[in-house]
Structure 1
Amino acid sequence: MTAKTRLRLLLSVPAIVLIFVFMILPITNMIEMSFRTPGTSEPFGPDYTGMHYTRILGDGYYWGVLARSLLTAGLVTVLCLIVSFPIAWHLSRARGLKAVLLYACIVSPLMTGVLVRNFGWMIVTALNGPLNETLMALGIIERPLRLLFTQGLVVLALVHVFVPFMVLPINNALRNIPESLTEASASMGASRMQVFRDIILPLSFPGIQPGMILVYVLAVAAYVTPALLGGQMVSVMPTLIVGELTGTFQWPFGSALAITLSVSTVIVVVTFTMLTSKLMERAKA
């Protein structure tokens, strides 16, 4: 073994330790916990069983909550993409002070704690909050709208939180598109829509794909926003899992729910990656 190889192995040790301690070990413990029997005086029993997965797969309620979680994350991802692409386009073309100001506006939601942001939404959308009072003063509505504890508000708040995670990777991809390509296409008679469809959109996909995957994974695992803004009216898997782990102290069943959500998310992400692999190859060609 050469000195260069030993140095590489030595430098890789911290990364291997971090991956083992913070990823492999917790996931292994959660999988093992999901097969534990329910405890009487403790959160789990000494034996092992597969009854928790049988209960989840055999109950339509958990299928419905899982489907709602996955579909909500998908809707949040699509809305983030629609909102983020124009922002990323302007950001990629901005220079100097304008670019700095745009970056500051985009990352500003990340500088505020998630609890503060959610309490802000709660104040704005309350029955006697500023939004309802403004709409009533303008004569648009006659009575206050119940916006709090609804699925729509949860989706809107999650989009507000996760837009920066979509804008930044798309911005990087757009910055790598040579302006000469768009200028050459325009000089040859291509319309703006044709330039966008045939050049800008395909070449920006290396930023779109990771942005969508990142936002989807974050949205499907979001707990604080659905718990505060959805309450008991909006059931998603993360709130259900936390309720089992900390509310009823059913650690094995809560772990089984978490593993079910994780496996479902992996399946969705892998399927999306496979379906979009040709677009990635086209962008790299």
Structure 2
Amino acid sequence: MTSQIASRRHLLLLGLPALAVVCLFVMLPYGEIVLMSFRTPSTTAAYGPGFTVDNYAKILSDPLYLKLLLDTLWQASISTIFCLILGFPVAFHLGRTQSRWRGLLYAMVLSPLLTGVVIRCFGWIVLLSNTGVVNELLSQFGLGPYKLMYNRIGVVIALVHVFLPFMILPIMNSVQNIDPRFEEAARTMGASKTSVFRHVLLPLTMPGIQSGAILVFALAASAYVIPILLGGGQVQTMTTVMVQQLTGSLLWPFGTAMALVLAAGMALTIIVFVFLMRQNMRSLK
């Protein structure tokens, strides 16, 4: 008994450095953000004297900010759905293939991560502008020009391109962890390929789908560079307006309140998504 207590103390001591780092670089800044959001705004300093809930009241009562929040969450949801539609077949193939080209395909999936977001955004500007490559090709067939930039279409396209690897990798990992004997057993019992996929493979890949969807959704909802460059000021999100409040108007309390409201909206959306995923998992069994 004494040895067990001693071992637990040793484990606790080993974890103290990591706990200190988390408290110093994660919990303390978050606590400061929460505290700042209740401060009174000031145009001459970071915040004024005293505390108030007016920052949250303004955000939650003003239809402009509520619409901004819903538009941001909707844009992130659409980007996540497209990432799932495009990424699932790729992830499933990479997870099951034994081809000698598998390493090359894996490198192609990871290659966008080697290029900065700004560079990739400028690449899409070249492709999607009114005189860009896409509209020039369409004009050869008598189509266009279509407005593919400075609207949500261009922003969603860039979001999907940038965050697609974050959807593929978790799903691929789930596919690789599936025991082939499960599929063999289902086929031996007379199940068709469609039934095997729906009732065996798809439920086993759900953890990867859930992880990838949450990751992409969080990244897309909090993206700043892509809406600024591809939206050209015409597409406003909670993040872009929040940065304007923090750096342009220097309204730090209001900007941090917007950040926390966005985080709460994202958390609520993720909770609903996880609940629906669990319900879907039960229906697939």
Normalised TM-score (structure 1): 0.93
Residues 119-268 of structure 1: pairs in structure 2 closer than 5 A: 119-141=122-144, 144-268=145-269
- For 2:43 and 2:172, how far apart are their aligned partners in 1? 54
Once the two structures are TM-superposed, the CA of residue 272 in structure 1 deviates from its matched residue by 2.0
- Cα–Cα, structure 1 residues 279 and 203, in superposed 2: closer, same or farther, change >3 Å? farther
- For 2:264 and 2:192, how far apart are their aligned partners in 1? 44
Residues 100-115 of structure 1: pairs in structure 2 closer than 5 A: 100-115=103-118
Once the two structures are TM-superposed, the CA of residue 282 in structure 1 deviates from its matched residue by 9.1
Residue 101 of structure 2 corresponds to which residue in structure 1? 98
Deviations 1:214-239 (A, max 9, x none): 11111111111111111221111110
- For 2:279 and 2:54, how far apart are their aligned partners in 1? 41
Q: Tell me the secondary structure at the aligned position of residue 276 of structure 1.
A: helix
- Cα–Cα, structure 1 residues 40 and 92, in superposed 2: closer, same or farther, change >3 Å? closer
- For 1:200 and 1:124, how far apart are their aligned partners in 2? 37
In structure 1, list runs of 5 or more residues that go unmatched: none
Residue 52 of structure 2 corresponds to which residue in structure 1? 49
Deviations 1:192-225 (A, max 9, x none): 2222111111111111111111111111111111
1:225 maps to amino acid: I
2:37 maps to amino acid: S
Once the two structures are TM-superposed, the CA of residue 281 in structure 1 deviates from its matched residue by 7.9
- For 2:237 and 2:118, how far apart are their aligned partners in 1? 18
Indicate if the aligned counterparts of 2:183 and 2:200 stay in contact, CA closer than 8 A.
yes
Once the two structures are TM-superposed, the CA of residue 17 in structure 1 deviates from its matched residue by 1.8
The CA RMSD over aligned residues, in Å, is 1.9
- For 1:85 and 1:227, how far apart are their aligned partners in 2? 28
- For 1:10 and 1:96, how far apart are their aligned partners in 2? 47
Once the two structures are TM-superposed, the CA of residue 180 in structure 1 deviates from its matched residue by 2.6
Q: Tell me the secondary structure at the aligned position of residue 45 of structure 2.
A: coil
- For 2:234 and 2:181, how far apart are their aligned partners in 1? 52
Q: Tell me the secondary structure at the aligned position of residue 46 of structure 1.
A: strand
- For 1:269 and 1:52, how far apart are their aligned partners in 2? 24
Indicate if the aligned counterparts of 2:127 and 2:134 stay in contact, CA closer than 8 A.
yes
Q: Percent identity, please.
A: 44
- For 1:19 and 1:44, how far apart are their aligned partners in 2? 27
Once the two structures are TM-superposed, the CA of residue 177 in structure 1 deviates from its matched residue by 1.7
Once the two structures are TM-superposed, the CA of residue 279 in structure 1 deviates from its matched residue by 5.5
Q: Tell me the secondary structure at the aligned position of residue 236 of structure 2.
A: coil
Q: Tell me the secondary structure at the aligned position of residue 43 of structure 1.
A: coil
Once the two structures are TM-superposed, the CA of residue 43 in structure 1 deviates from its matched residue by 2.7
Aligned length: 282
In structure 2, list runs of 5 or more residues that go unmatched: none
Q: Tell me the secondary structure at the aligned position of residue 100 of structure 2.
A: helix
- For 2:121 and 2:65, how far apart are their aligned partners in 1? 26
Indicate if the aligned counterparts of 2:37 and 2:256 stay in contact, CA closer than 8 A.
yes
Residue 30 of structure 1 corresponds to which residue in structure 2? 33
Q: Tell me the secondary structure at the aligned position of residue 48 of structure 2.
A: strand
